[in-house]
A and B are shown apart, each in its own frame.
Chain A
């Protein structure tokens, strides 16, 4: 029922999947943090210690940077889901405070985007 070409095609499929996985899922250090507020977004280096304050419709969301990682320290929302998200450490990690319209995401340094949309 299974012929030589079938085995070859399955092996090719496995190869494609694992190649894509290793190419796409490489972990690097996060280099930037992208903070999106209601009407502005900013990108900041993440390799230092400081606090950033972003204004939203409810008030100020405080983001803390700590040498490669970041977290939302406080936000004027009711459920604090963004604060409970904790530290963001790898590129691609993100936290969002929907009530205050603020989202933060870590971005790796080397990979460039294929497309950016807003």
Chain B
């Protein structure tokens, strides 16, 4: 029954995206020492969806999160929105590749690290090439990537401990 299956998937995507949006909103209220750096806890949701329900649903959740999050923050179609979108897309691609290539040798922590660093790189490249094309800006990239490496490990560990407690859905 293709129709019921896809509507069930839609409901799942909507539910998870709502959760991710909430986390995204709460997180954007927390001040961070460096612009462009934040914990990325909404990625925990995307990562869990990827591991439990596959890439397609994870992609829907990530993109819905960017769209709805920006609409609620009032940043829709502003530079912040496009930065967020670039980060989310890069992070999705990295997650999909690492998950597929790594198979069972890669767990949530590795995927989360790849996602965080890809997110930062995508966001940074867009910012650097389009919004603030100053040659010296790239000097801060190692700092930003180091931060995303650490925060990626943190979100990966969070995702892993949530996955242990989360009951496996019956399909």
Residues on A facing B (Cβ under 8 Å): 1-10, 13-14, 16-18, 20-21, 24-25, 92, 113-117
Bound Cα distance from A116 to B53, whole angstroms: 46
24 residue pairs bridging A and B, Cβ less than 8 Å apart = A1-B107, A2-B109, A3-B104, A5-B102, A5-B106, A6-B109, A6-B110, A7-B110, A8-B110, A9-B98, A9-B106, A9-B114, A10-B110, A13-B113, A14-B149, A16-B145, A17-B142, A17-B149, A24-B138, A24-B142, A25-B139, A25-B142, A116-B135, A117-B133
**Closest Cβ of chain A: how far from B11's Cβ, in Å?**
30
CB pair B149–A10 under 8 Å, yes or no, is yes
Decide: A13 near B142, CB < 8 A? Known: A1-B157, A117-B134. Answer: no
**Closest Cβ of chain B: how far from A96's Cβ, in Å?**
13
Residues of A near B149 (CB, < 8 A) are 10, 13-14, 17
**Closest Cβ of chain B: how far from A74's Cβ, in Å?**
26
Residues on B facing A (Cβ under 8 Å): 98, 102, 104-107, 109-111, 113-114, 117, 133-136, 138-139, 141-142, 145-146, 149, 152-153, 156-157, 160-161, 164
**Closest Cβ of chain B: how far from A106's Cβ, in Å?**
11
CB pair A3–B107 under 8 Å, yes or no, is yes
- A-B contacts counted at CB < 8 A amount to 75
By DSSP majority rule, is chain B's interface helix, strand, loop, or mixed?
A: helix
Instruction: Give the contacting residue for A115; candidates B135, B141, B164; CB below 8 A.
Output: B135
Bound Cα distance from A30 to B37, whole angstroms: 31
**Closest Cβ of chain B: how far from A26's Cβ, in Å?**
11
Bound Cα distance from A98 to B142, whole angstroms: 29
Bound Cα distance from A13 to B119, whole angstroms: 13
CB pair B102–A24 under 8 Å, yes or no, is no
